Structure 1
């Protein structure tokens, strides 16, 4: 059963706690160590970027709800409305048809799986937020060529001077998504429980 209220509050509280601690560290370390640059901490957006900060909080809350998209719930309704809006934007305003098709394909995967299947897996918790590491690369790399092979594209990408900056720009959003996701799994009793214990509980509930 979905615990909508617990999950969104859990994601918000967990990320707020992390953000405050990380912000204090980001401000204190350069004071204690003169050689440390002001922007040394890549896990949160800079204070001068309020929209990015708001975005990170929103991502933490949404990823705190995401795993329950595989069952009829408030979380599912929220995400499919968000995905619908994104698809409209991709098709109508940006004319990015391939990206829209891939997004639609991805949107079908959760409802094709059983509840607490791959959406509640620890590996998914690690991998799914990594989309925020790839989006800045995909959006910022100026030399995508549809006629090139994947190997050629990959080799050219490695030589891209802005690659480290693109990856770093996505880290705050990855961290926010990871924390929200981990909070959900923790509240569901999955994060720190072994696979064997999960199977035993599943059999007991049958």
Structure 2
């Protein structure tokens, strides 16, 4: 089982292959800023399954969660801040290699990436966020694959 560096390398490999594949198939037009953002989402997905244990991935996630929560509070989005706090605590429920290392979590955990923009901006923005959902899920898949969850 790789550590966080191995999962980052796996996530980066899957991100690059996904971007190259999407461009070659004509599904996506290359844009360096979007590509960078998609790679970041893929790397976050590659680290997420280990957020349930003391790890570098957990440290990164809680810094990201804290900054997002602070931003929501400063913008006076208290309800969204409360929901983020609730979801940030969920990985602590269960043991390591528990629910965060399942195929259904790989599909369910990134749902807020598409659901929140729809709730905030309406259904018109749904398609804009599908690539970010897919990038996160791809990174998550790379983690599970490297951990041997599909063997």
Give the TM-score normalised by the residue count of structure 1.
Answer: 0.69
165, 169, 172: which one aligns with 2:131 = 172
Structure (1/2) with the larger helix percentage: 2
Corresponding position of 1:16: 16
Q: Compute the displacement of 1:2 (Å).
A: 6.5
> Do the aligned partners of 2:110 and 2:133 also contact (CA within 8 Å) in 1?
yes
Of the candidates 42, 54, 60, which is equivalent to residue 72 of structure 1?
54
Cα distance in structure 2, aligned partners of 1:2 and 1:81: 22
Count matched residues: 151
Distance 1:2 1:13, change over 3 A: closer
**1:2–1:68 Cα contact (<8 Å) kept:** no
Q: Structure 2: which 5+ residue stretches go unaligned?
A: none
- After TM superposition, the score normalised by the length of structure 2 is 0.93
Which residue does the alignment assign to 2:101?
120
Structure 2 Cα separation of the partners of residues 111 and 10 of structure 1: 25
1:144-155 counterparts in 2 under 5 A?
Answer: none
Q: Larger C-alpha radius of gyration, 1 or 2?
A: 1
Q: Which runs of 5+ in 1 are unaligned?
A: 27-40, 142-162, 194-206
Identify the structure with bigger relative contact order (alpha carbons < 8 Å, sequence gap 6+). 2
Kept after mapping to 2: 8 A contact 1:4/1:65: yes
User: Please, what is the CA RMSD of the aligned residues?
Assistant: 1.5
